[in-house]
Amino acid sequence: MSGLMAGKKGLIMGLANDKSLAWGIAQQLGAHGAELAFSYQGDKLEKRVRPLAAKLGSDFLIDCDVSDMAQLDAAFAKIEERWGTLDFLVHAIGFSDKDELRGKYVDTSLDNFLMTMNISAYSLVAVTKRAAALMPEQVVAEDGTRSGGGSIVTLTYYGAEKVIPHYNVMGVAKAALETSVQYLANDLGPRGIRVNALSAGPIKTLAASGIGDFRYILKWNELNAPLRRNVTIDDVGGAGLYLLSDLASGVTGETHHVDAGYHVVGMKQEDAPDI
């Protein structure tokens, strides 16, 4: 274990099970000495999250639906009560009606548009405001070294940049999320708080299983990404550790791709078979 995250305390939001992207990031943070709290949505998930948190030495669990501002206030009040301050936050949350993650975007209903935007994009703004209030004031020493401030990372997908069939309203929400990252980074930069997004390639998780024809997306990425493979939650975890640690002290407002390079490719690879 390196001491990269030693002495730092952070909240992981969006852990559902050991396939979650949040789990890949949490494991790396734990292995590098971070103290972790976990928020989960509802009793059903608590049963899954509690043993995983315990593996990383944490018993600090908070029930929180991010679409409920009162629950968010209560969650951050618990953090303030137990820890006083917060150094980093992982936002790994997205949701849409799976009936609208197939077919055409033009058929998106108003109710699902608003719900998807609320849970998948606005929630970053809501949690960032509350997390930032608990992050220590930035101190610049005489020799120029900085302490305090904080780091926030959210999870996004390439469907924000280019059309991915079936991703639909979630792509629009991810575009709003990525632009929110830039505005939040600018708002909070003067306080030494960094805000970044990790754009992960497709990974089989609970959330991904709601996306129509996800197996085809996985296969297409594997065959056409420069690395000719799909990424894992360990790949995502390593990049999460980087962005949340002082290694990325000069990085903010960034959408960092962890997708085996898929986003740089403009067309099907010559060696990719027809699928």
* Residue 216: CA count within 13 A, CB half-sphere: 10
Q: Does 52 bind ligand NAD (CB under 6 A)?
A: no
Letters for 73-112 (x = contact with ligand NAD by CB under 6 A, - = none) are -------------------xxxx-----------------
Q: Are 76 and 13 in contact (CB under 8 A)?
A: no
* Candidate segments 124-132, 136-144, 152-160, 247-255, binder of ligand NAD by CB under 6 A: 152-160
Distance CA 108, CA 191 (A): 39
Using CB under 6 A as the binding rule, whether residue 205 contacts ligand NAD is answered as: yes
Catalytic residues: 157, 167
Q: With binding defined as CB under 6 A, does residue 172 bind ligand NAD? A: no
- To ligand NAD, the closest distance from the beta carbon of 142 in angstroms equals 41
204 has binding-site annotation: yes
Q: Decide: helix, strand or coil at residue 274.
A: coil
Q: Which residues of 201-239 are buried (b: 16+ CB within 10 A; e: fewer)?
A: bbbebebbebbbebeebbbbbbbbbeeeebbbbebbbeb
What is the torsional sign of CA 122, 180, 244, 235?
A: positive
First CA to last CA across the chain, in angstroms?
A: 43
260: contact with ligand NAD by CB under 6 A: no
Q: Which of 131, 207, 239, 241 binds ligand NAD (CB under 6 A)?
A: 207
User: Could you tell me which residues are annotated as the binding site?
Assistant: 14, 41, 65-66, 93, 174, 203-207
Q: Which residues bind ligand NAD (CB under 6 A)?
A: 14-16, 20-22, 41, 45, 65-67, 92-95, 119, 155-157, 200, 202-203, 205-208
